[in-house]
Structure 1
Amino acid sequence: MLKKIVLTLVIAGSGWLFAGFFPPTVYTTVTAVDGNRVTLARPLPVNGMSGVVMHSFGKGLQAITGILVQQAPGQATVRKGDLLDHKGLPTPKSVAAPGDKVIGGYLYNNVLVLAPNAETYRKITRSGGRFWIHPDLYAAYLAREGDSTPSASNLAGFAREAQVGLVYIVQRGRAILFDPISGRVVGKKAFQPVGSEAKYPFYTRFSKISGGLFGGSGKGDYYQSVGGIR
């Protein structure tokens, strides 16, 4: 009992330790800005975790002005935001300023799942607690873009289009959480899929998509197709 109490206090007080596979969303503020580097009042739970900077324009108006990635506890880089378009609001002089709000893990509840088969996909999504984005949508995006396998680049493009915060990827012997905005892995755990079937390039309900991406024999190695994302 005492160990549980101590662990709870450490997690609550550290600002960057946490329990569980999914990093929690964190609300904090910018305390200092040096070029494209910012200091946060409260560190995000994991280095490589992305977030957004919210700037206030007064009169209750605020908007995302920067996309942030934590490089070290409480230290992050920031670039101009491109997740949402705010044409009706004035352009700030900088993407971040002291006092701006930060949402770490923005859209982390929106999770794309890449799994080897339908049973494994259902095993993951039955856990609930997230808005699970079906890989059919990603497969259709790949067909449209002419890509054949998952990559950090096309996952980032799909994430911007579909408002995806995390990608849950089943690899050999483990599962990872890939942040497509930062291009970094922010969670890992041991994981065994259901059964031995591994559909290539990943589980989708499509047998063929216009453009021929998943047509033909469809033969390949699922684990090789997702193994390069790490």
Structure 2
Amino acid sequence: MIRFLLLFLSLYFIGFASMISQPIVGVDEDTATIKIDNIDVGMSGFIVKHIDSEHSIILKNAVVSGFDKETKTATLSMSDYDALKQNSLPNGKWDVAVGDEAVLAFGYSRALLIAPNEEIYHRITKALPTLEWVHPDLFATVLSFNGHPTPLKEDFYNMCSVSSVGLLYFYIHENLFTLDCKSMTILQITDAPLKQESLQLPFYSRVEKINANWFGEGSDELEAYDPYYYELLVETNPKNKQLYDLIKNKEQNLTSLLNEFDIKDEK
């Protein structure tokens, strides 16, 4: 089973490891469209305007919000680009236009894994040796600086932005979840029945203690691994039918999370 898992993960990674670059073919306020044979909804990136042969500028963040298989058209939701803020430099007034470049799956060669213990962490990271793994020690240090022993959605987003991490993995109760690190959209759910003999909260790292704020969201110590990270996945993927079915069929008492989904005729 472990060998099959390693092979499956390796093949899947090869399928979306390359950065995608396509010209914008349509713009409508905060959305843009590109033509592409296939793409995963939730992939993130940005929009680039080429000023001349040697100069270009990033205009917007972009996330794939829809894909029409019939027309081979992907819809991109755009928002302000916030990865490289520099208030001392002048800002251009360019708008996104047809012909600009959409760069997606940026940073998919770098990944962060949230795992319940050291053994599972090493098994999964060794399964994908071509990925550059950002060690969870770095994330734990960021959480300590923020005073969040319980990691929040925005903590993951900020970590991904400043570290150029494209993929976020969660190992939760015999399943490995592959997410786009910025949009936190699930790209893949893989069965991974690895033996778990220990648990480290809030996740495996070599940081002995994460400092906590006096009050506020994220300041409490995380008490339960599986329920919390399932809740985080549901919050960011309320329409994911595969996640819904997985939680529905789990032996753990997670039925309350089913009410958080936006799936009609399933509850």
TM-score calculated relative to the size of structure 2:
0.70
Question: Can you list the C-alpha shifts for 1:135-158, whole angstroms capped at 9, x where unaligned?
Answer: 111111111111122332211122
More displaced 10-residue stretch of structure 1: 135-144 or 38-47 = 38-47
Which protein has the bigger strand share?
A: 1
Distance 2:211 2:151 in 1: 18
**Where does 1:18-97 land on structure 2 (aligned, <5 Å)?**
20=12, 23-24=16-17, 25-42=19-36, 45-73=39-67, 74-85=74-85, 91-94=92-95, 96-97=96-97
Give secondary structure in 2 for the equivalent of 1:107. Answer: coil
Tell me if the contact between 1:151 and 1:228 (Cα under 8 Å) persists in the aligned partners: no
1:153 lines up with 2:154 in the alignment:
yes
The change in CA–CA distance for 1:211 and 1:182 in structure 2 (over 3 A counts) is closer
Query: What does 1:47-196 align with in structure 2 at a 5 Å threshold?
Result: 47-73=41-67, 74-85=74-85, 91-94=92-95, 96-126=96-126, 127-196=128-197
Distance 2:172 2:145 in 1: 25
User: Could you say if the C-alpha distance between residues 212 and 145 of structure 1 is closer, same or farther in structure 2, counting changes exceeding 3 Å?
Assistant: closer
CA offset at residue 59 of structure 1?
4.0
Secondary structure class of the residue paired with 1:20: helix
Tell me, what secondary structure is at the counterpart of 2:144?
A: helix
User: Taking structure 1 as reference, are residues 43 and 80 closer, same or farther at Cα in structure 2, changes over 3 Å only?
Assistant: farther
- Structure 1 unaligned spans of 5+: 1-18
Within 5 Å, give how 1:185-224 maps onto structure 2.
185-209=186-210, 220-224=223-227
Q: Give the number of equivalent residue pairs.
A: 207
CA contact (8 A) 1:64 1:84 kept: no
Q: Percent identity?
A: 23
**Equivalents in 2 of 1:219, 1:103: separation in Å?**
36
Q: Whole-Å Cα distance in 1 between the matches of residues 111 and 35 of structure 2? A: 27
Q: 3-state DSSP class of the match of 1:58?
A: coil
Q: CA deviation at 1:85?
A: 4.3
Q: How far, CA to CA, are the matches of 1:144 and 1:85 in structure 2?
A: 20
**CA distance 1:151–1:185, change in 2 (3 Å):** farther
Seen in structure 2, the aligned counterparts of structure 1 residues 34 and 129 have a Cα distance that, compared at 3 Å, is: same
Measured on the aligned residues, the alpha-carbon RMSD in Å equals: 2.4
Measure, in 2, the Cα distance between the counterparts of 1:41 and 1:183. 23
AA at the equivalent of 1:190: D
TM-score by length of 1: 0.80
